[in-house]
Amino acid sequence: MSEQPVAIAVAMIATRHELTPAAHRIIHELADEHLHAWCVVAPIDERTWAIVGTLAYEGEVILAEFDTREIAEVALEELAALDPDIIVR
């Protein structure tokens, strides 16, 4: 009996993390500031992730902190969508 190649499809399920009302409020407050910043998500410690922004006159500053990297990334995506002066590195 000849062996036939078997194709296996694997579907990855992406979980979209939702921001809490408090996180939404923070992101909207940051957007209202109209910051001109280059932003990244960076670890603060083993349980805290932050949106870190590089501002022209202040250097690197923590703009917001979150419990997980995923939530911080979603928050940064939302912030960048709300404010065209936020550039994601």
In whole angstroms, what is the distance from residue 54 CA to residue 60 CA? Answer: 4
pLDDT at 79: 95
Average pLDDT per consecutive 10 residues, the chain (89 residues; last block may be shorter) = 52 62 92 92 95 90 94 94 91
pLDDT at 89: 81
In whole angstroms, what is the distance from residue 5 CA to residue 65 CA? Answer: 49
How are beta strands 48-55 and 59-66 bridged, if at all?
antiparallel
